[in-house]
Amino acid sequence: MNLAILKIVFLVLQSNTLRSYFDDVASLLLAIGGVIGLIGGLRIYANWNYRDGFPVVSELGNWIHGALLLCIIGGIIKIWFQIT
């Protein structure tokens, strides 16, 4: 089932009309990710000052992994679908 969904996504992104919107959508998603990242960063900062260290370190690791994933997936999609 997942392969069928990937094929549909691939066919949709291959059309020229939707390719023209890719950069705009990618910028919008990065902006949303940035706002969510700032909120997460403020949450970690507040927890670091008012709680003990172990849960905060775990949250910090999750926040860093999420930020890296957001950046890497955008590049992978551009390479996979050959969008310049």
Q: How far apart are the first and last CA of the chain?
A: 29
Q: Please state the pTM of the whole predicted model.
A: 0.60
pLDDT for residue 53: 59
Tokens for 69, please give them.
């994933």
User: Tens digit of pLDDT for each residue in 36-50?
Assistant: 888 888 888 888 888
pLDDT by position in tens, the chain (length 84): 567 777 777 776 666 666 677 777 777 877 888 888 888 888 888 888 887 656 777 888 888 888 888 878 777 777 776 665
The domain spans of the chain are 20-80
